Amino acid sequence: MSMFSLAGKAALITGAASGIGRAAALLFAEAGARIAACDLSDDVHETVAAIKATGGEAKAVTMDAGSEADVIRAVETTVSEFGRLDVIYANAGITGGLPDFFDTTAETWAEVLRVNLIGPFLAIRHGAPAIIKSGGGSIICTASVAGLRYGAGPVAYSASKAGVINLVQHACQSLVGSGVRVNAICPGLTETGMTRPLYDHARAAGKEARIGQLNPLQRGGLPEEIAATALFLASPASSYVNGQAIAVDGGLSTSHPVAPSTQLAARAALDKFKDD
């Protein structure tokens, strides 16, 4: 059997309606897993249909990843449908828009933290006991290179993803001896529903070739490339990997270079205060 096989396993994936979540759902199903595809969007049914079209097993669950009641229901639905839970990929997330530091509101902070950080906590808190009952398994959280250091995202988003990295470290220690591993993936710029406006703007301006130019590979990522790392972390191939934050970013996090326009915007914000 392949080290990357998920045959006989059941996996719950949030944010599965599109982008990285959909790519992971399709790849996990191809590896043999039965999939609880979870998302707030009804497009999650398209993910399930795609899995079933290739002979896989999947169940659509409409849920808000930052709602405790919804997370509990998603875990219970997975166990009820498939008889077990072995893998959770807490992937759902939002950017909160792209405001500069001083224009970011407390309301934006609260919503970004609710989905991006409290959501993965709830997935671990309520999913780990079910995974333990199945004999152990893997929990994966989507963080971001923006959570490693400044220069790859807006403030609330970046702080929430830094929190995810610390969360998986705490979680793996809190699950000592349980057989449950907890890790994070830190994607770089990847074309998903969340980043589509940026990609669309670049293409409309004839600047698509500049997407991802700040990383050594000089390109953006594909959802399937992030999903491949998620499969590794979900599978026996990563049986000795625990509490880690793995960057999948074309090399961006080796330096996190900041575009001059970002620094100019920060200076302009400060100048505004000087003028007031």
Measure the CA–CA gap between 183 and 178, rounded to whole angstroms: 15
Active site residue 240: no
* Phi, psi angle pair for 71, to nearest 5°: -65, -45
* Maximum C-alpha span of the chain: 67
User: DSSP H helical segments within 101-222, as ranges?
Assistant: 106-113, 119-133, 155-174, 196-204
Single-letter amino acid, residue 226? I
The backbone torsions φ and ψ at residue 132, rounded to the nearest 5 degrees and listed phi first, read -60, -40
Catalytic residue, from 89, 150, 157, 240: name it: 157
The SS3 of residue 185 is: strand
Residue 228 burial class via C-beta count within 10 angstroms: exposed 0-12, middle 13-18, buried 19 and up: middle
Provide the annotated active-site residues.
157
